[in-house]
Amino acid sequence: MPARSSVLRCFPDDGASVAPWARRLGTAVLAHRLVRAAMLGCVGVLCAFLAWKATDNQLTQTYFGLDPHDSIRRFLAGTQSRPFAYRVFTPALIRLAQYGLHIPALARAGPAFLAHKIPLICAKYAAGGESSCNNIVAYFFVGWWLYLGFLLTMFALGRRLFQGSIILGATTVYLAFALVNAIILRRLSHTYDWGTLLFGALFLWCLLAERPVAFTLLMPVATFNKETAVLYALAFLLANLERLPLRRNLTLFALQIAGFLVVYGGERLYFASNPGTWMEIHLRGQIYLFTEHINLGLLFGLLGAVVLAFYRFPDKHPVLRAACIIIPPWAVLFLLGAVPREIRDTFEILPLLVLMTMQSLAALASCQAVPTQTARDARS
């Protein structure tokens, strides 16, 4: 097996663009343990900074926490309207951070950059509003950790796809950050968004790493964050048709559906007296948007993004191809339940689209010599 740290394999191997001695020197340097450790440390720092930046943008550049549907105060009081009331994972972490770990008080007594940041973030969250300053400070702590987990998982996924390449893993991280940041700068975001990204990435990691039990245990936890997590059970079933015995595959799939039904059914019963309904329908607004407000420039841009993501689809990693089964049901739910122009609902499938786009970009950049590894090869 080639050196896992080599990234020079992503350059043409014709011997003209890179001299043989330079190739050998670069491979030797990148294979050194200290260099690899330093690169991994830099990626960790980069992920921490990008997580800070994304969460800061979420709080300062969007209507986060101000809308009644995204009221942290109502989440913590258990009076949030349905279906938002079912998404209790992040509110539970906010409660722990605010009342268990006392994060707001610790942040105010922390370093100067925190003491300076808190008034800026809290300026638009007046007392008596949908979210208090303490709620927001506690969420900043929770959101930073959730987004950091998402980026680190994307880094691990990128390395698995590209034979341990640290640089391509870091590129995957930045592409994920750039797409998410572009979406939230449209000024729409919710408390459960970072959790949706994290669980989507974790599901894909479990599939690539062949961790079926971990995937099954993750399903009920992810359902507490958002009920659409159950779509990934379809990806599990299809991705493991040839990797697991059929009986075990169906058993684990049934356990995932059962875990979803227990959690989601319990939430439906617990919040049955809350206002709202099980799903808001916005199909008429979506039809009006796509028929009246999508111009040719935007249409061609969307088509270009789709073509880039699905470029050389037969050559994509088998797990990614199998995971694409979640896209049609997600598209139906998007058309039915998403508020028009609320493209943040793509977060359910964004980790998958990022990985597919990375493989397309690698192929276009003459990285065909970098074969995607199966999870079994990655562990050897």
Answer positive or negative: Cα dihedral of 259, 261, 264, 269: negative
CB-based contact 234:252 (threshold 8 Å): no
For residues 41, 43, 49, 51, the Cα torsion angle rounded to the nearest 10 degrees is -120
Buried b (16+ CB within 10 A) or exposed e, 279-304: eeebeeebeeeeeeeeeeeeeeeeee
Peptide bond into 83 cis (omega under 30): yes
Say what percent of the chain tops pLDDT 70: 82
Sign for the pseudo-dihedral over CA of 289, 292, 297, 301: positive
Q: How many CB atoms lie within 10 A of CB 66?
A: 13
- AA identity, residue 204: L
Q: Which residue has the higher pLDDT, 4 or 37?
A: 37
pTM: 0.85
User: Which SS3 state, helix, strand or coil, does residue 276 take?
Assistant: strand
Please report, for the chain, the start and end positions of each structural domain, with discontinuous segments joined by +. 43-379
- pLDDT over 80 (residue 43): yes
Q: What is the pLDDT of residues 132-167, one digit of tens each?
A: 888 888 999 999 999 999 999 999 999 999 888 888
42, 355, 10, 34: which is closest to 201 by C-alpha? 355
pLDDT at 379: 43
What 315-321 contacts at long range (C-beta under 8 Å, 24+ apart), as own/partner pairs, is 315/359, 315/363, 316/356, 316/359, 316/372, 317/161, 317/208, 317/355, 317/359, 317/372, 318/239, 318/374, 319/204, 319/207, 319/208, 319/239, 319/375, 320/204, 320/352, 320/355, 320/356, 320/359
d(CA 86, CA 88): 6
> Per-residue confidence at 6, pLDDT binned at 50, 70, 90?
very low
pLDDT tens per residue, range 232-285: 999 999 999 989 999 999 999 999 999 999 999 999 999 988 887 777 776 677
One DSSP character per residue, 6-70 reads --GGGS--SSSSS-HHHHHHHHHHHHSHHHHHHHHHHHHHHHHHHHHHHHHHHHHSS-TTTSGGG
Average pLDDT over residues 299-305: 79
Given a contact cutoff of 8 angstroms between Cβ atoms, the answer to whether 103 and 138 are in contact is yes
pLDDT surpasses 90 at 351: yes
